[in-house]
């Protein structure tokens, strides 16, 4: 039931002018040791989330340096994704676990999808919990090396759900996490720490002129001449869009005419998204200066780029966050960025230097006011943030890290 995703073609050479020469040299040297390595990435959706965005760049670049890399997406109906959303929330700390009936649904779909993993692969990379059970149902691929790549915050997981998944983790040769404190306590396969990255050459992150960004923002009914606050994320309680609205209301008392754009995406593996989207709309209470947009309003990569580029301040007020690639995107565009003090966001934002870290809507509102009242200081902060991303969080560095892991796994 797995579906092959067509990723097109990319060239590592296109990044020569963006990242360091030493990094590009290391990529070429590592690739020579594993030429022809057959790799398959498996995840739950081909659009609407950070994992899909990563794979659209990473897989063709692996092919460009001489590997044979595929990307396959698992099949699932709403009953399955309702379970995996509950599982995702539990692993990020929700007290609501999953029932025995839900476990059976989860296991049935993993067994079903395992039958579609055909191919003589050297390495199989399973992304996140949804397909983690495929490994135990593929005896024909026992000779391959298996990696479980976790993209979520496991620092305070629901213990019952973690223990349910632990025997499935045990079948892997390696696990990969964004941060060291996400690695679960207890016995699991060897863990590597690899933060994600953004692709600076995609439509979402390529250079966009101020005039073009303003034009695009205007098409959605906003006034490009008035201050704009933007948060880009799924409609999810962990992203706290209601808290962002509270922060905006604090700002609006001192900055008349300020606008807020909540720009999200509706993903196939997130059935809870619609419910929280509607809660967010209700919470906005018809405020004409709050704009709630998604891919269903024709908001794609270019449009997200425009909103981030044009924003006076970009917010990511997450309560829990695996890493926060929308923070990386905003910093790459040189925008003053305010993020929740959680998960991988502090890896990207040094408070007061490359952005601001906040712990509440009140904190967030005050920091937005700081940005709006100190234009020059905000621009300088944005420049420092961009350089931090250039050094640490662009796709070539992520490609290098994967090549290192493959080389280690294959003993080369």
CATH number of the domain bearing residue 288: 3.40.50.2000
Q: How confident is the model at residue 267 (pLDDT cuts 50, 70, 90)?
A: low
The residues facing 137 across adjacent strands are none
The two beta strands, 145-149 and 123-127, are: parallel
Do 48 and 163 fall within a single domain?
Answer: yes
Domain of residue 268, residue span: 210-392
Q: What is the dihedral of CA 7, 265, 244, 310, to 10 degrees?
A: 60
Do 53 and 29 fall within a single domain?
Answer: yes
Read off the pLDDT of residues 57-111 as tens digits, 9 standing for 90 and up: 999 999 999 999 999 999 999 999 999 999 999 999 999 999 999 999 999 999 9
Distance, in Å, from the CA atom of 18 to the CA atom of 185, rounded to the nearest integer, reads 38
Give domain status of residue 204, yes or no.
no
Mean pLDDT for 227-243 is: 95
Residue 24 has pLDDT above 80, yes or no: yes
Do 155 and 256 fall within a single domain?
Answer: no
Do 153 and 51 fall within a single domain?
Answer: yes
Provide, rounded to the nearest whole percent, the portion of the chain with pLDDT above 90.
90
pLDDT score for 296: 78
Do 385 and 300 fall within a single domain?
Answer: yes
pLDDT score for 269: 61
Do 39 and 130 fall within a single domain?
Answer: yes
| Other beta carbons within 10 Å of 78 | 9
Element containing residue 230 per DSSP (H, E): strand 228-232
CB 240 within 8 A of CB 340: yes
Do 400 and 388 fall within a single domain?
Answer: no
Give domain status of residue 46, yes or no.
yes
Distance, in Å, from the CA atom of 287 to the CA atom of 258, rounded to the nearest integer, reads 11
Mean pLDDT for 251-261 is: 97
pLDDT score for 298: 86
Do 173 and 234 fall within a single domain?
Answer: no
Q: Which residue has the higher pLDDT, 65 or 139?
A: 65
Give domain status of residue 277, yes or no.
yes
Give domain status of residue 125, yes or no.
yes
Do 247 and 123 fall within a single domain?
Answer: no
Distance, in Å, from the CA atom of 67 to the CA atom of 358, rounded to the nearest integer, reads 42
Give domain status of residue 191, yes or no.
yes
| Residues 114, 119, 124, 127, CA torsion sign | negative
Read off the pLDDT of residues 290-318 as tens digits, 9 standing for 90 and up: 999 987 788 999 999 999 999 999 999 99
Distance, in Å, from the CA atom of 90 to the CA atom of 103, rounded to the nearest integer, reads 13
Distance, in Å, from the CA atom of 247 to the CA atom of 245, rounded to the nearest integer, reads 5
CB 184 within 8 A of CB 311: no
Give domain status of residue 326, yes or no.
yes
Helix (H), strand (E) counts: the chain: 14, 13
Do 98 and 169 fall within a single domain?
Answer: yes
pLDDT score for 325: 94
pLDDT score for 275: 86
DSSP letter assigned to residue 110: H
> Strands (DSSP E) along 22-111, which ranges?
38-43, 68-73
| Other beta carbons within 10 Å of 33 | 12
CB 208 within 8 A of CB 406: no
Give domain status of residue 182, yes or no.
yes
Distance, in Å, from the CA atom of 65 to the CA atom of 362, rounded to the nearest integer, reads 48
pLDDT score for 50: 83
Do 369 and 401 fall within a single domain?
Answer: no
Q: How confident is the model at residue 156 (pLDDT cuts 50, 70, 90)?
A: very high
Cα 314 to chain centroid, rounded: 16
**pTM score, two decimals?**
0.91
**Mean of pLDDT over the chain:** 95
Distance, in Å, from the CA atom of 357 to the CA atom of 363, rounded to the nearest integer, reads 9
pLDDT score for 297: 82
| Three-state DSSP class for residue 403 | helix
Do 307 and 362 fall within a single domain?
Answer: yes
Read off the pLDDT of residues 363-407 as tens digits, 9 standing for 90 and up: 999 999 999 999 999 999 999 999 999 999 999 999 999 999 999
Q: Which residues of 80-95 are buried (b: 16+ CB within 10 A; e: fewer)?
A: bbbbbbbbbbbbbebe
Q: How many domains does the chain have?
A: 2
Read off the pLDDT of residues 339-356 as tens digits, 9 standing for 90 and up: 999 999 999 999 999 999
Give domain status of residue 9, yes or no.
yes
């Amino acid at each position: 039931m797995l579906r092959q995703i067509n990723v097109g073609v990319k060239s590592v050479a296109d990044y020569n002018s963006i990242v360091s020469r030493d990094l590009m040299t290391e990529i070429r040297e590592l690739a020579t040791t594993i030429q022809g390595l057959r790799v398959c990435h498996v995840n739950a959706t081909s659009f609407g989330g950070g994992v899909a965005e990563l794979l659209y760049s990473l897989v063709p670049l692996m092919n460009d340096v001489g590997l044979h890399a595929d990307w396959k997406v698992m099949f699932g109906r709403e009953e399955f994704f309702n379970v995996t959303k509950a599982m995702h929330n539990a692993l990020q700390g929700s007290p609501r676990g999953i029932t025995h009936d839900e476990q059976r649904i989860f296991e049935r779909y993993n067994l079903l999808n395992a039958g579609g993993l055909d191919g003589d692969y050297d390495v199989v990379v399973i992304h996140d919990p949804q397909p983690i059970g495929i490994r135990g149902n593929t005896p024909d691929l026992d000779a391959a090396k298996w990696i479980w790549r976790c993209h979520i915050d496991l620092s305070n997981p629901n213990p019952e759900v973690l223990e349910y998944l632990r025997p499935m983790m045990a079948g892997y040769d390696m696990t990969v996490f964004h941060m060291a404190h996400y690695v679960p306590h207890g016995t699991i396969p060897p863990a590597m720490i690899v933060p994600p990255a953004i692709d600076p050459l995609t439509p979402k992150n390529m250079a966009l002129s101020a005039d073009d960004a303003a034009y695009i923002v205007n098409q959605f009914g906003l006034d490009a001449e008035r201050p704009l606050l933007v948060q880009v994320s799924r409609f999810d309680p962990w992203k706290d869009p209601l808290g962002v609205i509270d922060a905006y209301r604090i700002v609006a008392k001192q900055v008349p005419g300020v606008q807020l754009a909540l720009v999200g995406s509706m993903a196939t593996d997130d059935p809870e998204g619609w419910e929280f989207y509607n809660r967010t709309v209700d919470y906005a209470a018809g405020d004409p200066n709050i704009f709630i947009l998604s891919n269903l309003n024709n908001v794609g990569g270019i449009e997200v780029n425009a909103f981030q580029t044009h924003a006076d301040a970009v917010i990511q007020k997450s309560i829990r966050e695996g890493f926060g690639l929308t923070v990386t995107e905003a910093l790459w565009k040189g925008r003053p960025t305010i993020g929740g003090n959680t998960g991988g966001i502090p890896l990207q934002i040094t408070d007061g230097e490359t952005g601001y870290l906040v712990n509440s809507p009140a904190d967030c509102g005050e920091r937005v006011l700081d940005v709006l009242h100190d234009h020059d200081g905000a621009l300088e902060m944005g420049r420092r943030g961009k350089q931090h991303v250039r050094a640490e969080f662009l796709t070539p560095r992520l490609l290098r890290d994967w090549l290192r892991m493959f080389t280690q796994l294959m003993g080369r």
